[in-house]
């Protein structure tokens, strides 16, 4: 298996983990009668697990000079989007079902990813929007409609 295939498998597993955690944590939000409390609990334990993984697996830490050049907005901006997305997952999953909620969430992720890749936002590799990608977006929208089709 080549490295691209391994990356694709890892990305698929990450997506599966997001869908699974959405279901589990939305259940926590329902039982607590508050999706925001569930989000705080999830982020607290996520931070603890990430810290444990950092201490066990990481051997390289940034130097002070590297830390000083990081723009202030990067310390919190991603977290705002994360908190919003996770809290919305916890709120929406019990109302829509995990499958429907994740299908819409995935479409939002892909659309923003294609646009941000096209323009090279966030200093990531620039990948232009092509006719084939637009066909993929049309197929994605069609798939979302089929997944959520109600009689």
pLDDT tens across 97-149, in order?
A: 888 888 899 899 889 999 999 999 988 899 999 999 999 999 999 999 998 88
Give the mean pLDDT of 33-52: 93
Residue listed under structure tokens 């200093």 = 123
pLDDT at 64: 93
**Whether residue 46 is found in the same domain as residue 112:** no
For 113-143, b where at least 16 C-beta lie within 10 A, e where not — what string?
ebeebeeeeeeeeeeeeeeeeeeeeeebeee
Q: How many domains does the chain have?
A: 2
d(CA 97, CA 101): 6
Q: What is the pLDDT of residue 132?
A: 96
As a whole number of angstroms, the distance between CA 46 and CA 61 comes to 20
At residue 45, does pLDDT exceed 80?
yes
Model's pTM, two decimal places?
0.76
Report whether 83 contacts 39 (CB < 8 A).
yes
Place 10 in a pLDDT band, splitting at 50, 70 and 90.
Answer: confident
**CA dist 87 to 39, 46, 90, 136, Å?**
5, 14, 5, 29
Nearest to 103 by CA among 151, 150, 141: 141
Is 106 found in the same domain as 40?
no
* 129 and 65 within one domain: no
Query: For residue 28, how many C-alpha atoms fall within 13 Å in the half-sphere facing its CB?
Result: 18
φ, ψ for residue 134 (rounded to 5)? -65, -35
CA–CA dist 93, 24 (Å, integer): 10
Alpha carbon distance 61, 82 (integer Å): 24
Residue 18 pLDDT: 86
Q: Are residues 70 and 107 in the same domain?
A: no
Report, as an integer, the average pLDDT of 9-18: 86
Which pLDDT belongs to residue 19? 83
59-103: pLDDT as tens digits: 899 999 999 999 999 999 988 998 898 888 888 988 998 888 888
Residues 128 and 63 both lie in one domain: no
Q: Which domain holds residue 115?
A: 97-151
Whether residues 140 and 71 share a domain: the answer is: no
**Position 8 pLDDT exceeds 90:** no
Q: Does 38 score more than 80 pLDDT?
A: yes
Query: Are 91 and 111 in a shared domain?
Result: no
One domain, residues 91 and 121: no
């Amino acid at each position: 298996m080549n490295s691209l295939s391994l990356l694709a498998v890892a990305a698929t597993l990450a997506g599966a983990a997001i869908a699974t955690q959405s279901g589990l944590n939305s259940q926590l939000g329902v039982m607590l009668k508050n999706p925001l409390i569930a989000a705080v609990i999830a982020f607290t334990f996520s931070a603890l697990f990430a810290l444990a993984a950092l201490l066990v697996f990481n051997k390289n830490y940034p130097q002070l000079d590297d830390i000083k050049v990081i723009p202030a907005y990067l310390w919190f901006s991603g977290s705002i989007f994360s908190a919003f997305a996770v809290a919305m997952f916890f709120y929406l999953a019990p109302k829509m079902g995990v499958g429907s909620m994740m299908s819409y969430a995935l479409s939002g992720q892909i659309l923003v990813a294609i646009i941000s890749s096209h323009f090279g936002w966030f200093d990531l590799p620039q990948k232009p929007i092509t006719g084939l990608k637009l066909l993929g977006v049309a197929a994605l929208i069609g798939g979302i409609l089929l997944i959520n089709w109600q009689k």
